[in-house]
Amino acid sequence: MGIRYQITCAVVVFVVVVAEILELCICANSSTTLHSPCLERERQALVKFKASLNDPSNLLSSWHGDDCCRWKGIGCDNVTGHVVMLDLTPPYLKCWRSMSDDYDCDLLDYQYLEATNVNSSLLELEYLTHLDLTGNTFYGSHIPMFIGSMQRLRYLSLSDAGFGGRIPSNLGNLTNLHFLDLSGNGFSPDSNINWISQLPLLEHLDMSYAYDTFQVNIINLTITAPKLQFLSLAANGLSVSNLDALQNMTSLVHLDLGGNNITSIPCWFGNFKKLEYLCLSERGLHGPIPNAFQNATFIEFLDLSENNFDSFPFWFHKFEKLKLLFLSSNNFQDTIPDALQNMTSIESLDLSSNSFTSVPSCGSLPGHIGHIMPNLVNLRLGNNLINGSIPNSLCQNDQLEILDLSNNRLFGEIPNCWKDNQKWEEINLSFNELSGFMKGTLGGCGFNG
């Protein structure tokens, strides 16, 4: 009896639960997602915002009807129905962001929204946590002061949106920000950005190409966010004294300081043990590749091109996860270092415009590179002094798409062992003493070159 009673009870409970779920579904009236409908006040604010935009390509055609939560680019809290996300990134940029190799974003038109300012109707979206206006154009207008009062924002991207003037300091009031991207605008270089130090939760900060002139030597940066993983200050003309602000940023995974006036690498770079991406291209650095990098053993992307580096350290083989290595336009000489022979994961190798004379061990170019770097897609060794022949082993890289060996001292026959269907994007063997033909497909047309 006891057992039977328990079973009955369980069935009753089950029925009640099912009834509750059904009721919930009927209330929500939604076949796929459960959410409350849009709030009228917020719908009105969005209608007003839409009216302030010029939308020549009709990107906001879905913005009609009562339930603004279903409009393109809008996200609502699924319990309260408040608008929490406004993402107006144009479709072609979204495509680029999510680009997998084969995806052809160029098929999408470069369509975007235009406005002479950011309309203050956004202020009525009190619960907004995610605001993304990337890639639209605001014709040199200032970032409005009211953005600094949208205290719930966790994600703010205003990149490539044609903003100008001074960056308002009250962005430092947005203490919940995890993600901030102001890159690709034309801000005036006297913008005070000390307020960044008031954002302790930042994980992603992109200020690359942010100013309307290259020289931003007065920039004063302090970052206190212990969880910062992504930092790009590329192309701002910073000078080295300002880098001290970075010395405690041990959680950095992505660091891009390319295109700045940096003349030496501080020893505290050894603190950056989690780096996977490091760009220090263009300007100022010379001597051996610094020992301070050697703790960054997770590095996958290293760009030191357009400096005056002249030698590889003995520990370079520790970078065994490297996929992309760009060292063009430096002062490297003699033999391409043995260390590269351990780098089996390399996909892209650019050593062009140096003074390399030969390739390790084998003398001929690039030795048994076909065995050593089976993942190579892009090989650029042009503008060096490499003396030798091209070995057949290179044909084993059947995914090779770019081969630039131009302007060296290569001689002999061009190997004729590539697959007929090898898909070449670029081949340049000019300015050598080579003879013969190459097999493959270039830009969709068959060729013999």
Ligand X SMILES: *[C@@H]1O[C@H](CO)[C@@H](O)[C@H](O)[C@H]1NC(C)=O
Interacting residue with ligand X among 73, 91, 164, 172 (CB under 6 A) = 172
Nearer to ligand X, 158 or 228 (CB): 228
Nearer to ligand X, 244 or 398 (CB): 244
Q: Residue 48: which residues within 8 A CB-CB, separation 6 or more?
A: 119, 121
Q: How many CB atoms lie within 10 A of CB 25?
A: 12
The stretch among 90-98, 104-112, 117-125, 364-372 that binds ligand X (CB under 6 A) is 117-125
Q: Residue 448: which residues within 8 A CB-CB, separation 6 or more?
A: 437, 438, 439
Interacting residue with ligand X among 342, 345, 392, 441 (CB under 6 A) = 342
Residues 81-110 that bind ligand X (CB under 6 A): none
- Decide: is 32 part of the binding site for ligand X (CB under 6 A): no
Least Å distance, CB 1 to ligand X, is 40
Residues 238-257 that bind ligand X (CB under 6 A): 239-240, 244-245, 247-248
Q: Residue 409: which residues within 8 A CB-CB, separation 6 or more?
A: 385, 386, 387, 388, 432, 433
* Strand, coil or helix: 261: strand
Enclosing H/E stretch for 404: strand 402-404
Least Å distance, CB 237 to ligand X, is 6
Supply 6's token pair.
Answer: 């328990």
Supply 396's token pair.
Answer: 């084993």
DSSP codes of every residue in 146-190: GGGG-TT-SEEE-TTS--EEPPPGGGGG-TT-SEEE--SSEE-TT
Q: Chain-centre distance of CA 406, in angstroms?
A: 30
Nearer to ligand X, 31 or 58 (CB): 31
Find out whether 218 and 241 touch, Cβ atoms under 8 Å: no
Residues 260-319 that bind ligand X (CB under 6 A): 261, 263, 270, 291-292, 294-295, 317
How many amino acids of this chain bind ligand X (CB under 6 A)?
Answer: 47
Across-strand partners of 157? 132, 181
Nearest to 123 by CA among 192, 199, 52, 201: 52
Nearer to ligand X, 93 or 210 (CB): 210
Nearer to ligand X, 40 or 338 (CB): 338
Interatomic CA distance for residues 288 and 270, integer angstroms: 15
Q: What is the CA radius of gyration of the chain?
A: 28
Binding mask 393-412 for ligand X (x = CB under 6 A): -------------xx-x---
Find out whether 78 and 33 touch, Cβ atoms under 8 Å: yes
- Decide: is 362 part of the binding site for ligand X (CB under 6 A): no
Nearer to ligand X, 352 or 397 (CB): 352
Least Å distance, CB 218 to ligand X, is 5
Interacting residue with ligand X among 36, 111, 170, 355 (CB under 6 A) = 170
Interacting residue with ligand X among 383, 384, 397, 432 (CB under 6 A) = 383
Q: Which residues bind ligand X (CB under 6 A)?
A: 29, 33-34, 48, 51-52, 78, 117, 119-121, 148, 169-170, 172-173, 192, 194, 218, 220, 239-240, 244-245, 247-248, 261, 263, 270, 291-292, 294-295, 317, 338-339, 341-342, 382-383, 387, 406-407, 409, 428, 430-431
